[in-house]
Amino acid sequence: MIKNDLWIIHQSKFKAMIHPFVPELVREADGDRRISYGVSSYGYDIRLSDKDFRIFRHIPGTVIDPKNFNPQNLESTELHKDHNGSYFVLPAHSYGLGVAVEHLQIPKNVTVLCIGKSTYARAGIIANLTPGEAGWCGHLTLEFSNSSSADCRIYANEGIVQLLFFEGENCGIDYQKRRGKYQNQSEEVTLARI
C-alpha cells in the first residue's frame, strides 16, 4: 500500500526516516519561487544537493563499463548562481549524476520508488532512479538525462524527484542485513560498483 502524508510525517519526525525533514510542501522561500520540495499527499519531494554534480564526458577510445567504472568519464560541473537561485547546467543530450540533500533511513517493511517531477519532465529532463530498498540508508545518488536539444538548468536545494513509499510485509533479508554495496552513501555522488 502507498503511504500518505500523515505516515511520512510520523516516520520522519519520530523515527528519522528523512533528515532534514520539511513537514509541508514548500513552493516559495525567502520571497522567491522554488521547485516544490517537502511532503505532498502521497510522497516526499527531495532536493538536489549543491555539493556534487557530475556530467558524463566522452573520452575518445573509452567505453563506460559498469563493472570497471572509470571516474575520469565524469567531470564535476560548476554551481552557478543568479536571481533565480543556485543551479547546475546539464548540456543537451547528456547525462549527469547528483546527490540528494536528505539522508534517508528506509524502514524494513518499505520500498521507496523515485519518480521525476513534471516541472523537469516538461523541460526534457528525465530522472532515472533505482528504488530505495527496505533497510537502505544514506543520501541517494540521482541520475538525470537531458533529452532535449538545449542545455537545461537543474536547481540545487530545490525539489528534484518525488519519493513514493510502499509498505509490505517484512522481508526475510533487507538491504542492511545483506550488506548492500550502496549502503550509507554520503552527500556526494557514488559511482557504479559491483
| Domain segments of the chain as ranges | 5-167
pLDDT tens string 83-127: 999 999 999 999 999 999 999 999 999 999 999 999 999 999 999
What confidence category does residue 132 fall into, taking pLDDT thresholds of 50, 70 and 90? very high
The whole-model pTM stands at 0.92
Percent of the chain residues past pLDDT 70, beyond the cut: 100
Q: Active site residue: 28, 75, 102, 143, which one?
A: 143
* 20: preceding bond cis by omega (within 30 degrees): yes
Q: What is the DSSP letter of 100?
A: B
Please indicate whether residue 143 is annotated as part of the active site: yes
Give the type of residue at 90: L
Report yes or no: 162 and 143 within 8 Å, Cβ to Cβ.
no
Reported as a single tens digit per residue, the pLDDT across 11-51 is 999 999 999 999 999 999 888 999 999 999 999 999 999 99
Give the residue from 77, 167, 87 showing the smallest Cα distance to 120: 87
- Backbone dihedral angles phi then psi of residue 8, each to the nearest 5 degrees: -60, -45
CB 166 within 8 A of CB 1: yes
- At which residue does the C-alpha cell 550488506 appear? 179
Q: What is the DSSP letter of 189?
A: -
Within its chain, how far is the Cα of 41 from the centroid?
19
CATH number belonging to the domain at 5-167, selected among 2.40.110.10, 2.40.50.140, 3.40.800.10, 2.70.40.10: 2.70.40.10
Type of residue found at 79: L
Confidence of residue 166 (pLDDT cuts 50, 70, 90): very high
